[in-house]
Structures are given as C-alpha cells and as structure tokens.
Amino acid sequence: MDLPGPIHNFLLVFLGSGLILRGLGVVLRINPIYSAFSLGLVLVCISLFYILTNYHFVATAKLLIYVGAINVLILFVVMFMNIQNIIKILIHGPLGMALLRCTILDTSWYGIIWTTRSNQIIEQDLIGNSQQIGIHLATDFFLPFEFISIILLVALIGAIDVTLQ
C-alpha cells in the first residue's frame, strides 16, 4: 500500500513490537498451547507486514498456508500430545544463557545497520504482484515449481505412512 509516511512508520513500529513480544512468547511460555497461539499471532503480524510492502500475494499465501494449515496442524499435535509433565521452573541453565549471549551479541548488528541501498528510480508497477510472480514461476522457475509439487506429494505420502501403523 502506498500509505503516507507517518502512518507507514507507525504501522511498522506497531507490527515490529508485536513481533518481538510474541516471538518471546513462543519461546518462554510454559503451556505449549499458549506458545502455539503466539506463533499464530507472529505469522499474522508477518503477513500484515508483507501487505505494507506491497506484496499482496506472498502475504495472502502466508496467511493461508502458515496460519491456516501449519499452525492448525501444530495446534492439533499440541492438543493430541496431552503434555502433562510441564516443568514449573523454567530451566534456563548455563547452556541457554550462553546461547542467548552468542546469538544476540555475536550477530553483526553493526553490519546490518550500515547496509546501504542504491538510489533506484521507483517506477509505477503496471503489472500487479500476483501477475509478476506468476510470470516468473511459469518461465524462469518452472523446474523448481515442479520439484516442489513432487516434494509435497512425497511428504504427504510419507506422513500418512508413518502414522498409519
């Protein structure tokens, strides 16, 4: 969407802070059902974020596939497990703290912040986002497209075969 500047920035900050809080909620909540719901909200925030950057097809595909199928599958698995041995004390031993320190302090935030972009002239898109993706999928990326369909078929058969016994 071509929103004016302040609304765009406000929505970005809003979605970003929501993402941060819910990402922590996925990891730190004890009850796995709450963390599955937090994962669903993270995915919804990410698709709203894609709508802001004018990529409507990827946003809708993420909503349908991730929230509609994958999150529902994870919720089914969580509810099917009937996890009773929920440890009341959060076990964040030395390994967890070391890992948190590694991932947050050793990421080169400085290198990320100083990534510059070239000054591009933004032309007006005459073709929509779905049509562009469709054109490229049908011409340049046709072989990966067929491979993805085979992979999904094999995954489907494999999952049914594992759980049939």
Partner 1 sequence: MMLEHILVLSAYLFSIGIYGLITSQNMVRALMCLELILNAVNINFVTFSDFFDSRQLKGNIFSIFVIAIAAAEVAIGSAIVSSIYRTRKSTRINQSTLLNK
> What three-state secondary structure class fits 113?
helix
- Residue among 20, 128, 142, 146 that touches partner 1 (CB under 8 A): 20
Residue 103 contacts partner 1 per CB under 8 A: yes
The owner of tokens 């996925």 is: 26
71 and 36 Cβ atoms separated by less than 8 Å: yes
Sign of CA dihedral 54, 55, 59, 60: positive
Contact between 12 and partner 1 per CB under 8 A: yes
Contact between 44 and partner 1 (CB under 8 A)?
no
62 scored as a contact of partner 1 (CB under 8 A): yes
CB 74 within 8 A of CB 36: yes
- Residues 3, 136, 142, 146: which binds partner 1 (CB under 8 A)? 136
Instruction: Using CB under 8 A, pick the residue from 1, 3, 7, 65 that binds partner 1.
Output: 65
Closest by CA position to 49, among listed 62, 30, 40:
62
With binding defined as CB under 8 A, does residue 126 bind partner 1? no
**Residue 17: half-sphere exposure toward Cβ, Cα within 13 Å:** 5
Contact call for residue 148 and partner 1 (CB under 8 A): yes
CB of residue 162 to partner 1, shortest distance in Å:
4
**By the rule CB under 8 A, 21 interacts with partner 1:** no
* Residue 66 contacts partner 1 per CB under 8 A: yes
